[in-house]
């Protein structure tokens, strides 16, 4: 008997076999204390037992007489507060007595004398049974076959098969307590044969079911063949079947009498027209369309406003304004039971969740969805359909979407409403007026259908990137809700709550295998993405997880991955964007403007230089007309106020001035660069450096007045990301500061100005 007591680990759901490794995680204090005790010992040995009953805590005699002497191979604490251990079973032992001291079970044990059971007869039978079992049972892993070369005794063979066999915990416990090798071999053979009988019975049942399905398919095939033969022969019965089919559909329609009369007239034409007439197919298609539309079929909106709010919050971060608008609409609708659906237009940069938010709105309301994209459309027939006189005519996309939705009150999403084009084929924006005008869309008439369809019950949600590019006549009928860029910290929160859990599930991983720390996520956001939304961030997270899956499956690397900031380059390569470069030393004639791009906000460095010439103004940097005019206004404003600014007129008269906006391959335009250009020029003329941690935005007039600008939130967020800590803004934009997150505004000093003279005094006078 082993005189030294060693710890006992009681497992109620896992069985450890000799010569077999298991991985276990604990979050129970009792188990942790035992593992700590084992880990502190020199040999790291313990006895693992599986209790006979659940009363072992109060009745120590419920613990079995046999267990497995095991060794702790690895212990690791994981971030979720659990402890992961790897335990290897060594051999069966007989437990002589148990003790429970200091919250831990301990025991003495005796070696089990194992007779030389290299019984070739049972050994060979067991091998053959295993081969037949693996070949037959689909859910049995064949990995066990690769380990048979290392097995030479019946004892080891029984334990190896028992560890792989897909049986219940109680069965595996029985294998441990059966110490006689031959008895254990018989038990394994019996269990495998029993499972094989079940598999055989299951296959017989499946075969019978498949035979019955084949019979029904055969019958269907013959019926379809008869139908085709009738059509080829011009059999009138085929046409009669279709007429009967359309009559049944028409009888079930909940539509106006006018529509029913139209269907009846077309059916009458279809009955009397010759089978050889080219109009036959056209009338058939028309009847199919008009009888398939959900004329008055509607779904009931969800009345539980709390549930609607929870669904919207669970799918999208922030966006309080649009969520509030939906809740207000539902509240008033429930209160009056008679309310026109709003026509909402979500405007914002790509990737901020406009389309997905519209889908979430439909889900929260309990409505069906229809979705079309009008980007690039230049034919108004795409919206209002083709006349039936044209060959191949079909309804427009609005009616097509309504038919697919199957209800008369879906949430209808119209994407890219700012990207329609107008040419000789027509103006699709004008065609959308009848669709989106609440005063007339209850009598929408598609050119193909020809009958009025009520669109007033439809909730239209349009999306656009630029509000300026939406045709004015459409914009006047839309309820504009702007979705701004996400801040870094909003992206971090979105990644943790939405993107990472979804990506882990898609890649078959869990939080027990991968954890991405906050600093690593911020590194990806800052140095690998340049976007207003989170699409690129989502793609990069998928790239990172793919590489981890490869390591796990191909390189057999099963360690826990805790991704830190310094690990990102290993998975995603070199950094793409370096905002730290904007913190370099200050320069004369260089000022940070503020831009609103498709990626959200960013700083826009403006450079100015001069050289001998004739007072010409040279502009470069792929500028639009508005920016060119801003530069001219800024230059002429300085010339007209040169004495006030203390600038020698000779500098202006004897030199050419060159203003350049770097990144010339990117087109730039917009009314917000005036004060930045003015500051860059005065800095050049007065040889005064402008701090790199300063930026400004706002248009200037010839009198020096500073005009308000748009996209303030995105511009401020972009400047903050680039290290700017002082910003000059038009005074009329002061109220817009409320929309900017506090984590951004707390780091920045804002100076609001009404006239450029205030900026000049603050930069060029106060510090002199």
pLDDT range class, residue 665, cuts 50, 70, 90: very low
User: Any idea which residue has 């929408």 for tokens?
Assistant: 444
- pLDDT for res 533: 82
Give residues with Cβ within 8 angstroms of 663, minimum separation 6: 621
- pLDDT for res 755: 93
**Calpha distance 129→119 (Å, rounded):** 16
Query: Lowest-confidence range among 26-35, 369-378, 522-531, 642-651?
Result: 26-35
239, 323, 668, 715: which one is catalytic?
A: 715
pLDDT range class, residue 236, cuts 50, 70, 90: very low
* Contact between 682 and 645 (Cβ < 8 Å): yes
**Calpha distance 682→673 (Å, rounded):** 14
pLDDT at 727 over 90: yes
In 3D, which of 336, 307, 312 has the Cα closest to residue 325?
Answer: 312
- pLDDT for res 542: 92
- pLDDT for res 454: 86
Query: Lowest-confidence range among 35-49, 293-307, 655-669, 699-713?
Result: 655-669
Higher pLDDT, 700 or 127: 700
Instruction: List the beta bridge partners of residue 94.
Output: 66, 110
pLDDT at 754 over 90: yes
CB-CB neighbours of 231 under 10 Å: 13
Give residues with Cβ within 8 angstroms of 532, minimum separation 6: 348, 349, 350, 351, 352, 484, 485, 486, 598, 599, 600, 714
- pLDDT for res 134: 81
Q: What is the mean pLDDT of residues 79-102?
A: 84
Angle between helices 279-292 and 236-252 (to 10 degrees): 30
- pLDDT for res 558: 64
Higher pLDDT, 627 or 275: 627
Query: Lowest-confidence range among 42-46, 323-327, 532-536, 587-591?
Result: 323-327
Distances (CA, A) of 15 to 10, 62, 133, 167: 10, 17, 22, 11
What pTM value is reported for the model? Answer: 0.57
In 3D, which of 150, 355, 203, 743 has the Cα closest to residue 159?
Answer: 150
- pLDDT for res 557: 61
Q: What is the mean pLDDT of residues 455-482?
A: 84
**Calpha distance 374→396 (Å, rounded):** 12
Q: What is the mean pLDDT of residues 710-733?
A: 86
- pLDDT for res 478: 85
Angle between helices 279-292 and 257-272 (to 10 degrees): 150
* Contact between 593 and 606 (Cβ < 8 Å): yes
pLDDT range class, residue 676, cuts 50, 70, 90: very high
2-11, 108-117, 222-231, 628-637: range with highest mean pLDDT: 628-637
**Biggest CA-to-CA distance, the chain:** 112
Q: What is the mean pLDDT of residues 711-715?
A: 83
438-452, 627-641, 706-720: range with highest mean pLDDT: 627-641
- pLDDT for res 53: 76
pLDDT at 117 over 60: no
Sequential DSSP letters for 720-755? HHTT--EEEEEGGGGGGGGGS-HHHHTT-EEEEESB
Q: What is the mean pLDDT of residues 253-266?
A: 85
**Calpha distance 611→61 (Å, rounded):** 99
- For the CA atoms of 741, 742, 743, 745, the dihedral, rounded to the nearest 10 degrees, stands at 90
Element (H, E) at 690: strand 689-690
Q: What is the mean pLDDT of residues 708-721?
A: 84
**Calpha distance 693→762 (Å, rounded):** 15
Higher pLDDT, 224 or 521: 521
pLDDT range class, residue 579, cuts 50, 70, 90: low
Q: 715 catalytic, yes or no?
A: yes
How does pLDDT run across 491-538, given as a tens digit for each residue? 888 888 888 999 999 988 888 888 999 899 989 988 888 887 888 899
In 3D, which of 705, 761, 759 has the Cα closest to residue 732?
Answer: 705
269-278, 294-303, 664-673: range with highest mean pLDDT: 294-303
pLDDT range class, residue 449, cuts 50, 70, 90: confident
- pLDDT for res 129: 83
- Share the mean pLDDT of the chain: 82
pLDDT range class, residue 751, cuts 50, 70, 90: very high
- pLDDT for res 705: 92
Q: What is the mean pLDDT of residues 131-146?
A: 78
In 3D, which of 127, 582, 498 has the Cα closest to residue 319?
Answer: 498
- pLDDT for res 224: 67
- pLDDT for res 632: 92
**Calpha distance 367→298 (Å, rounded):** 9
Angle between helices 169-177 and 154-164 (to 10 degrees): 170
How does pLDDT run across 161-217, given as a tens digit for each residue? 888 888 888 888 888 888 888 888 888 888 888 888 888 888 888 787 777 777 767
In 3D, which of 502, 485, 443, 449 has the Cα closest to residue 594?
Answer: 485
Burial 550-571 (b: 16+ CB within 10 A, else e): eebeeeeeeeebebeeebbeeb
- Element counts in the chain: helices (H) and strands (E): 27, 26
- pLDDT for res 30: 54
341, 672, 683, 719: which one is catalytic?
A: 672
Q: 550 catalytic, yes or no?
A: no
Chain-centroid distance of CA 22 in Å reads 35
* Contact between 451 and 258 (Cβ < 8 Å): yes
What is the side-by-side order of every strand in the sheet holding 617-620?
A: 617-620, 655-660, 600-612, 590-597, 694-696, 726-730, 749-753
Q: Percent of the chain at pLDDT above 90?
A: 9
CA angle (487 as vertex; 481, 491 as ends), nearest 5: 100
- pLDDT for res 229: 67
* Contact between 546 and 538 (Cβ < 8 Å): no
Q: Percent of the chain at pLDDT above 70?
A: 91
- pLDDT for res 768: 45
Query: Lowest-confidence range among 145-149, 363-367, 490-494?
Result: 145-149
23-32, 577-586, 721-730: range with highest mean pLDDT: 721-730
């Amino acid at each position: 008997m082993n005189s030294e007591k060693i710890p006992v680990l009681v497992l109620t759901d896992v069985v450890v076999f000799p010569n077999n490794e298991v991985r276990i995680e604990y979050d129970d204090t009792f188990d942790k204390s035992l593992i700590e005790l084992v880990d502190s010992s020199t040999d790291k040995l313990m006895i693992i037992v599986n209790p006979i009953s659940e009363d072992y805590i109060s009745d120590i005699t419920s613990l079995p007489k046999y267990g497995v002497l095991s060794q702790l191979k690895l212990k690791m604490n994981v971030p979720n507060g659990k402890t992961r251990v790897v335990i290897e079973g060594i051999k069966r032992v007989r437990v002589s007595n148990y003790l429970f001291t200091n919250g831990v079970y301990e025991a003495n044990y005796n070696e089990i004398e194992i007779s030389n059971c290299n019984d070739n007869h049972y050994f060979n039978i067991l091998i053959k049974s295993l081969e037949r079992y693996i070949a037959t049972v689909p859910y049995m892993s064949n990995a066990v076959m690769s380990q048979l070369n290392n097995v030479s005794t019946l004892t080891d063979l029984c334990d190896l098969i028992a560890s792989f066999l897909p049986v219940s915990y109680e069965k595996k416990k029985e294998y441990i307590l059966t110490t006689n090798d031959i008895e254990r071999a018989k038990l394994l053979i019996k269990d495998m044969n029993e499972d094989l009988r079940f598999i055989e019975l299951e296959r017989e049942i499946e075969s019978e079911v498949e035979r019955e399905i084949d019979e029904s398919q055969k019958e269907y095939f013959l019926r379809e063949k008869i139908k085709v033969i009738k059509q080829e022969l011009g059999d009138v019965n085929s046409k009669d079947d279709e007429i009967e089919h359309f009559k049944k559909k028409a009888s079930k329609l909940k539509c106006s009498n006018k529509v029913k009369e139209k269907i009846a007239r077309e059916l009458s034409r279809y009955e009397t027209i010759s089978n050889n007439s080219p109009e036959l197919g056209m009338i058939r298609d028309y009847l199919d369309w008009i009888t398939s539309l959900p004329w008055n079929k509607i779904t009931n909106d969800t009345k539980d406003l709390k549930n609607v709010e929870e669904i919207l919050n669970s799918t999208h971060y922030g966006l309080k304004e649009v969520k509030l608008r939906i809740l207000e609409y539902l509240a008033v609708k429930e209160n009056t039971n008679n309310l026109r659906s709003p026509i909402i237009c979500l405007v914002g940069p790509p990737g901020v969740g406009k389309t997905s938010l519209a889908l979430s709105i439909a889900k929260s309301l309990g409505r069906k969805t229809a979705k079309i994209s009008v980007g690039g459309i230049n034919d108004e027939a795409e919206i209002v359909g083709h006349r039936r006189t044209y060959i191949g005519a079909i309804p427009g996309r609005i009616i097509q979407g309504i038919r697919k939705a199957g209800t008369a009150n879906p949430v209808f999403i119209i994407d890219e409403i700012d990207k329609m084009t107008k040419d000789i084929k027509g103006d699709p924006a004008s065609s959308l007026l009848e669709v989106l005008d609440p005063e007339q869309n209850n009598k929408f008439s598609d050119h193909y259908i020809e009958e009025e369809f009520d669109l007033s019950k439809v909730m239209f949600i349009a999306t656009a990137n630029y509000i300026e590019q939406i045709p004015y006549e459409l914009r006047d009928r839309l309820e504009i809700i702007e979705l701004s860029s996400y801040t870094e910290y909003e992206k971090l929160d979105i990644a943790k709550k939405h993107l990472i859990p979804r990506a882990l599930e898609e890649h078959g991983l869990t939080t027990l295998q991968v954890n991405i720390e906050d600093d690593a996520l911020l590194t990806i956001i800052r140095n690998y993405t340049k976007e207003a939304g989170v699409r690129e961030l989502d793609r990069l997270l998928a790239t990172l997880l793919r590489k981890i899956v490869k390591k796990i499956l191909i390189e057999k690397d099963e360690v826990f991955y805790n991704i830190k900031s310094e690990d990102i380059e290993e998975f995603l390569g070199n950094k793409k964007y370096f905002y730290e470069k904007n913190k370099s030393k200050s320069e004369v004639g260089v000022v940070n403007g503020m831009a609103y791009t498709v990626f959200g906000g960013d700083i826009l460095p403006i450079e100015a230089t001069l050289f001998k010439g004739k007072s010409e103004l040279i502009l470069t940097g792929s500028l639009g007309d508005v920016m060119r005019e801003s530069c001219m206004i800024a230059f002429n404003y300085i010339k007209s106020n040169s004495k006030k600014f203390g600038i020698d007129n000779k500098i202006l008269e004897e030199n050419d001035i060159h203003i350049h906006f770097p990144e010339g391959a990117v087109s730039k335009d917009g009314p917000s660069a005036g004060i930045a250009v003015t500051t860059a020029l005065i800095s050049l003329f007065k040889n005064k450096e402008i701090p790199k941690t300063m930026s400004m935005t706002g248009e200037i007039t010839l009198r020096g007045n500073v005009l308000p600008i748009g996209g303030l939130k995105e511009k401020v967020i972009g400047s903050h990301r680039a290290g700017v800590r002082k910003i000059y803004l038009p005074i009329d934009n002061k109220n817009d500061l409320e929309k900017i997150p506090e984590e951004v505004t707390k780091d920045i000093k804002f100076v609001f100005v009404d006239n450029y003279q205030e900026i000049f005094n603050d930069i060029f006078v106060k510090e002199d």
